[in-house]
Chains A and B, each alone.
Chain A
Amino acid sequence: MKGVQWWSLANIGQRTNDLRTSVNQLYNNPSLLPLTKRQRKLVTRNPGTIMAIAKGAKIAIDECKHQFQSRRWNCPTFYDGHGGSVFGKILNKGCRETSFIYAVTSAAVSHSVARACSEGSVHTCSCDYEHNKVPVGKDWEWSGCSDNARYGHRFSRRFVDVIEKGRDFRYMMNLHNNEAGRVHVSTGMKQECKCHGMSGSCTIKTCWMRLPTFRTVGNLLKDRFDGASRVLPGNDGNSILDKGNAGRAVGRKKRRFNFSPVNPNHKRPGRRDLVYFENSPTFCEKENVIGFEGTSGRECNATSLGVQGCDLMCCGRGHKSETYTVRERCHCTFHWCCQVKCEVCTRLKVKHTCL
């Protein structure tokens, strides 16, 4: 689990200065300790990406928490080396939640690296501002460049996929989910250009990159989470274990990587779908295997019948309700011009928590 420790970079957001050092210093920087040697090399070679990755890890965690705030599993995170990863031991499983974590984190890296590229803070993007000093002439390939998306995608592949070792089914699944997350980012990105000139001629051309917000990506991934397919290795999937004479060997066997759904009536998962191979636990009781605390003590909605409703959330254990008072601004009036005057009201609120 050493590799996925890069997620803990989310915590270094504040200590920004120590990462803007020279290449040699950066490589040995203690902040990069969670990274593998290869990842460290990668970020050292591409100065500026490490900040983007840290930011990416943070937005991934925030997005996961946001998307799952009303589910039993609410994307808990641990910052004390809990099972070696920020997301805890759930990664040892191969369930839906695991697939979402992989997808959302790799998507976040892709997104924030592409973002950093277009802001000009990564100098190795193929389209940084400095190398485009003279954006004139017939071949405009200028600063608002289309390669940012591709760079982000590639970088994420290099950075995220590289940690997947072993050649088992889980490895395949993780690769797939990583890629699915990234595809959602890069297909949402679009370069838009516009010509300006006398009556529609093209004397000046301006371009910009339409980047989806990460919330959009999160929503899409959540949809895929709900529709994720449970898969088995494809018929000829066993051959992936046959490492044999892989690598440069000439007569390398063609290994099929396709997944077949457990339910034969389901469609084969596509490139954007999330896949998993283990059913999720109920997430009702405390489970030490995955380090989940259970839903006891979680707040729930007494009137809702949905997943955040007390019935489902508390797994039938019932809930307790307590009332508390809040002081709010109320009866606000607008006085010309320009003042808003409010009174302070005291209201009773009820909080429901699972037993």
Chain B
Amino acid sequence: MDDMLDFDPDQLDDSDYELLQQYLQGEYSPELAELLESYGGYDDDSDVYERIPIRNLYENCVIPTASQAMSHVIPLFMFCVSFRIICLLAHTVFKDYASPLKFLHFVSCVFGLMILYRFFEFALVYIIASLIATYIIVLLTSQFSRPQVGIFVSVFIASYILMCELIIVDGKIWHSMRGAQMILSMKLISLGFDWSSGAIERLPSILEFSGYCLHVGSVIFGPWFSYKDYISGLQENKPLCKWWIIKVLFSCSLAVLCLIYSTCFTSWLIIQGSFSWLLAYRDAQSFRFSHYFVSFLSEATHVLSGFGYTQTADSVKWDYSVVRPDKIEIPHSLVEVVTNWNLPMHTWLKTYVFKTARPLGNFVAVLLTYGASSLLHGLNFQLAAVLLSLGFYSYIEFMLRLKLASSFDACILAKRCKEKCDHKYQIMNPFVMLTNLSFVLLSMFHLAYLGLMFDNSSDEEMGYTMSHTLSKWSQLNYASHWVAVGTFLFYIVI
């Protein structure tokens, strides 16, 4: 007889499937339950860390990571390609009729909505809401003061983001769509300012407006591009050519490589339990590579949907780039990191924030730029702290290097010297090289410190909290902040 179970599984028919499932899925027999219970809780030992074999890493990490990412990205690519093909077809079919642009705006809009739904499901209403509200604001305000439209739009977007962040939206949902909202906000604000300044002559219709904002090649991962680029991209549809395909494939492969490096190899190369600064470097690098993945992805989708070329006299060059990893991994200076982190966003900040705020003074303009940037990123303490620190660090570094460069007359500015610079000591001078190298190392140190709290902890899905950030930094005794203060004092003393 068997007293372990309420029934004997060997006597079951196939029809008693439920009972059998219950038996198979049930945790354990009463005996074992008691046995386990008698131990109380787990006697958790510290985990044993060791490097798993590369084959296991490939099977357990590389393959699942790549396939999971692909399952998201492939539909996006399909939409982008279809959009491109529809554009080409529309231009050939409607050639003799009126411009096909209206139809294309409509397609762009629909595809954008579809891909948004695929990624965010019904959370896309937040995006639609900000889009429609902005359009209404543009319509209303341009009635009486067109030059102020840009300001009105910016104020509205800022308060909308604050409201979503703090009150309306569930943290997890908001955190997942923050990226898309950020791209949208940038597009809306740039549109507002362009309309104010007269860079756009005619007020876009609601169809053009939403076609631009929901453009399938940039609605999820970016990049930002201006309304004028959008219109001209639709008007002059570039024929398919091999360079276009090569560019897309190149960006895609780089994206996949960065993704795999970021998720699998960083924590494989530097295993848990190593020296704490090494770990900081690892986590920061993992975060950076995840950013490169997204950036290359945005590059690929943008180009795939037929944008991001440069027109020269007789040829079209597909040379669009969003990020320059080489200049971030081995940074000449922090200024270079900030610039190359997201090139379109850098252009946006320069054009619409820095230049607009310039009349208020240089320092205020810089502060406002970093403030706008952190607001766009979603007013999260961690991001704001990182961005502001980065702002101060790069300012200090810039000033220090300016002073040093002029007093030694050497090529050690924060900006790389051109081929021919008029300093006495050129870039190949050993002392210049040494100084530049030490600034490279200093930047890498700062980056490791600033990026380390973007680890894969459980906070990640919700956005990191303030205590998380501070605890991570205090583990390293705020070393980089102290170094920055030291650099500043040095700058004042010399």
Residues of B within 8 A of A271 (CB): 36, 39, 42-43
Assess whether B68 is in contact with A143, with CB atoms less than 8 Å apart: yes
Assess whether A203 is in contact with B68, with CB atoms less than 8 Å apart: no
Assess whether B10 is in contact with A272, with CB atoms less than 8 Å apart: no
Question: B461 is contacted by which of A42, A205, A256, A258 (Cβ under 8 Å)?
Answer: A205
Let me know if A208 is at the binding interface, CB within 8 A.
Answer: yes
Residues of B within 8 A of A37 (CB): 10
Chain B 35-66 interface 0/1 with A at a Cβ cutoff of 8 Å (1 = within): 11011001111011010110010011100110
Within 8 A of A (CB), among B268-320: 286-287, 290-291, 293-294
Give the contact stretch, choosing among A10-18, A209-217, A317-325. Answer: A209-217
Assess whether A193 is in contact with B10, with CB atoms less than 8 Å apart: no
Let me know if B31 is at the binding interface, CB within 8 A.
Answer: yes
Assess whether A206 is in contact with B68, with CB atoms less than 8 Å apart: yes
Assess whether B35 is in contact with A175, with CB atoms less than 8 Å apart: yes
Assess whether A246 is in contact with B3, with CB atoms less than 8 Å apart: yes
User: By DSSP majority rule, is chain B's interface helix, strand, loop, or mixed?
Assistant: helix
Give the contact stretch, choosing among A70-78, A97-105, A153-161, A289-297. Answer: A153-161
Report how far A82 CA is from B23 CA in the complex, Å. Answer: 33
Assess whether A136 is in contact with B39, with CB atoms less than 8 Å apart: no
Question: B32 is contacted by which of A175, A206, A248 (Cβ under 8 Å)?
Answer: A175
Let me know if A46 is at the binding interface, CB within 8 A.
Answer: yes
Assess whether A199 is in contact with B179, with CB atoms less than 8 Å apart: yes
Residues of B within 8 A of A202 (CB): 172, 175-176, 178, 460-461
Assess whether A206 is in contact with B64, with CB atoms less than 8 Å apart: yes
Assess whether A194 is in contact with B294, with CB atoms less than 8 Å apart: no
Question: B65 is contacted by which of A208, A210, A254 (Cβ under 8 Å)?
Answer: A208
Chain A 20-41 interface 0/1 with B at a Cβ cutoff of 8 Å (1 = within): 0000000000000000011001
Assess whether B45 is in contact with A136, with CB atoms less than 8 Å apart: no
Question: B454 is contacted by which of A200, A203, A246 (Cβ under 8 Å)?
Answer: A200
A135's nearest neighbour on chain B, judged by CB, is B71
Evaluate whether A197 and B67 lie within 8 angstroms (CB atoms) in the complex, with A136-B121, A213-B52 already known.
no
**Chain B nearest Cβ from A61, distance in angstroms:** 20
Let me know if B27 is at the binding interface, CB within 8 A.
Answer: yes
Evaluate whether A210 and B179 lie within 8 angstroms (CB atoms) in the complex, with A37-B10, A138-B173, A175-B32 already known.
no
Q: Give the interface centre of B10, B60, B383 by most chain A CB atoms within 10 Å.
A: B60
Assess whether A157 is in contact with B456, with CB atoms less than 8 Å apart: no
Question: B220 is contacted by which of A144, A183, A203 (Cβ under 8 Å)?
Answer: A203
Assess whether A216 is in contact with B50, with CB atoms less than 8 Å apart: yes
Assess whether B50 is in contact with A194, with CB atoms less than 8 Å apart: no
Give the contact stretch, choosing among B204-212, B258-266, B392-400, B425-433. Answer: B258-266
Report the interface size for chain B: residues with CB under 8 A from the other chain.
77
Report how far A130 CA is from B184 CA in the complex, Å. Answer: 35
Residues of A within 8 A of B119 (CB): 136, 203
Assess whether A172 is in contact with B294, with CB atoms less than 8 Å apart: no
Assess whether A248 is in contact with B6, with CB atoms less than 8 Å apart: yes
Residues of A within 8 A of B45 (CB): 272
Report how far A257 CA is from B177 CA in the complex, Å. Answer: 52
Evaluate whether A161 and B67 lie within 8 angstroms (CB atoms) in the complex, with A194-B460, A199-B291, A204-B72 already known.
no
Chain A 153-184 interface 0/1 with B at a Cβ cutoff of 8 Å (1 = within): 01001100100000100001001100100010
Residues of B within 8 A of A243 (CB): 3
Assess whether B64 is in contact with A207, with CB atoms less than 8 Å apart: yes
**Chain A nearest Cβ from B347, distance in angstroms:** 16
Let me know if A188 is at the binding interface, CB within 8 A.
Answer: yes
Residues of A within 8 A of B423 (CB): none
Let me know if A137 is at the binding interface, CB within 8 A.
Answer: yes
**Chain A nearest Cβ from B412, distance in angstroms:** 30
Assess whether B263 is in contact with A201, with CB atoms less than 8 Å apart: no
Assess whether A206 is in contact with B48, with CB atoms less than 8 Å apart: no
**Chain B nearest Cβ from A14, distance in angstroms:** 22
**Chain B nearest Cβ from A322, distance in angstroms:** 37
Let me know if B24 is at the binding interface, CB within 8 A.
Answer: yes
Report the interface size for chain A: residues with CB under 8 A from the other chain.
63
Residues of B within 8 A of A198 (CB): 178-180, 182-183, 221-222, 294
Residues of B within 8 A of A206 (CB): 64-65, 68-69, 259, 263
Assess whether A201 is in contact with B24, with CB atoms less than 8 Å apart: no
Assess whether B456 is in contact with A192, with CB atoms less than 8 Å apart: yes
Let me know if A142 is at the binding interface, CB within 8 A.
Answer: yes
Report how far A200 CA is from B259 CA in the complex, Å. Answer: 14
Report how far A192 CA is from B377 CA in the complex, Å. Answer: 25
Question: B52 is contacted by which of A135, A200, A210, A220 (Cβ under 8 Å)?
Answer: A210
Q: Give the interface centre of A136, A193, A194, A210 by most chain B CB atoms within 10 Å.
A: A194
Let me know if B34 is at the binding interface, CB within 8 A.
Answer: yes
Let me know if A195 is at the binding interface, CB within 8 A.
Answer: yes
Report how far A320 CA is from B28 CA in the complex, Å. Answer: 53
Assess whether B172 is in contact with A138, with CB atoms less than 8 Å apart: yes
Report how far A211 CA is from B55 CA in the complex, Å. Answer: 12
Residues of A within 8 A of B145 (CB): none
Question: A188 is contacted by which of B20, B48, B73, B222 (Cβ under 8 Å)?
Answer: B48
Assess whether A172 is in contact with B48, with CB atoms less than 8 Å apart: no
Assess whether A161 is in contact with B32, with CB atoms less than 8 Å apart: yes
**Chain B nearest Cβ from A250, distance in angstroms:** 14
**Chain A nearest Cβ from B433, distance in angstroms:** 31
Q: Give the interface centre of B43, B73, B123, B262 by most chain A CB atoms within 10 Å.
A: B43
Evaluate whether A138 and B123 lie within 8 angstroms (CB atoms) in the complex, with A202-B176, A248-B6, A257-B31 already known.
yes
| Additional pairs, 8, CB under 8 Å, beyond known A45-B20, A208-B64 | A137-B121, A192-B263, A198-B221, A204-B68, A206-B263, A208-B263, A212-B48, A271-B39
Chain B residues with a Cβ under 8 A of chain A: 3, 6, 9-10, 12, 20, 23-25, 27-29, 31-32, 34-36, 38-39, 42-45, 47-48, 50, 52-53, 56, 59-61, 64-65, 67-69, 71-73, 118-121, 123, 172-173, 175-180, 182-183, 220-222, 259, 262-264, 267, 286-287, 290-291, 293-294, 342, 377-378, 383, 454, 456, 460-461
Name 25 interchain pairs, CB-CB below 8 A, sorted by A. A42-B24, A136-B121, A137-B120, A137-B121, A138-B121, A143-B68, A157-B27, A158-B23, A158-B24, A161-B28, A172-B35, A179-B35, A187-B47, A196-B293, A197-B221, A199-B342, A200-B377, A202-B178, A206-B65, A206-B68, A209-B60, A209-B64, A212-B52, A258-B38, A272-B45
10 A-B pairs with least C-beta separation: A198-B179, A201-B178, A270-B43, A201-B179, A247-B3, A257-B35, A197-B179, A246-B3, A144-B64, A208-B61
Chain A residues with a Cβ under 8 A of chain B: 37-38, 41-42, 45-46, 118-119, 135-138, 142-144, 154, 157-158, 161, 167, 172, 175-176, 179, 183, 187-188, 192-213, 216, 220, 243, 246-248, 254-258, 270-272
